Amino acid sequence: MLMKKPFYLFALLLSWLWFVPVVHAQLPDFVPLVEKNAPAVVNISTASKVKPQRRADLNGIPEELLRRFFGDAFPIPPGQGEVPRGRGDDNKKEMQSLGTGFIISADGYIITNHHVIADADEITVRFSDRKELSAKVIGSDERTDIALLKVEAKGLPTVTLGQTSKLKVGEWVLAIGSPFGFEATVTQGIVSAKERTLPDDTYVPFIQSDVAINPGNSGGPLFNLAGEVVGINSQIYSRSGGFMGLSFSIPIEVAMNTV
């Protein structure tokens, strides 16, 4: 028995060495997918001009009495009843938001989420080569959370569109986006469920996955292993405001029907 023990240990070592490369061989290689598709994913920033807020009804209290008690803490512009904000003559303030989009045609059509560009007065698209172009909204739909943008350009890289109907639960998927403004960030996971309904009256049969999605990923593409876009990253469920393992993407068929 003492002579056989080293043999058993040697056999166990060989079996372990054989098993390790087999396991590694089964893991997907995302590098070619990212290299091919990352140039077609763009960062989207918006600027919205916020109008001055109107002062609440003061029930006819004389202005000089208000100033006697409050000084200039509550200024009342004559005849307007508005509180000035920001700088400049128009008293407007610009607010920035960040999101993601992807190019579906070489002449500059881009898909993103409606909530990324809602109420925006200016939309700027930044490409992987750091070039920036202004975009206009061709159309936007709040219920499906899809927006179509257009930039004036030619020969742009594009993504390939897939079919959600062929997507299976447990299949590997990958997202490219700009979480918290960090452009071209890649995260991966698996499809957790399909046709998921959310309690927000959104008419979308969401793809649920455990791909890490955070603020700034909205509007970005969800790829299958074939490098095809099967969804548009739209929402997360979270108690903290950050990723907690539940991500929801709009099926590409729903998006293209809206487009």
For Cα atoms 140, 141, 145, give the angle at the middle one, nearest 5 degrees.
105
Q: Is the dihedral of CA 249, 252, 257, 259 positive or negative?
A: positive
Q: How far apart are CA 22 and CA 15, in angstroms?
A: 11
Please check whether residue 119 is in contact with residue 142, taking contact to mean a CB–CB distance below 8 angstroms.
Answer: no
Catalytic residue chosen out of the listed positions 48, 115, 141, 210: 115
59 by Cβ neighbours in 10 Å (0-12 / 13-18 / 19+) ranks as exposed
For residue 125, give the amino acid letter: V
Does residue 218 carry a catalytic annotation? Answer: yes
Catalytic residue chosen out of the listed positions 45, 145, 234, 247: 145
Please check whether residue 149 is in contact with residue 103, taking contact to mean a CB–CB distance below 8 angstroms.
Answer: no
Catalytic residue chosen out of the listed positions 218, 234, 247, 249: 218
Please check whether residue 177 is in contact with residue 100, taking contact to mean a CB–CB distance below 8 angstroms.
Answer: yes
Q: Is the dihedral of CA 160, 99, 209, 141 positive or negative?
A: negative
Could you list the active site residues?
Answer: 115, 145, 218
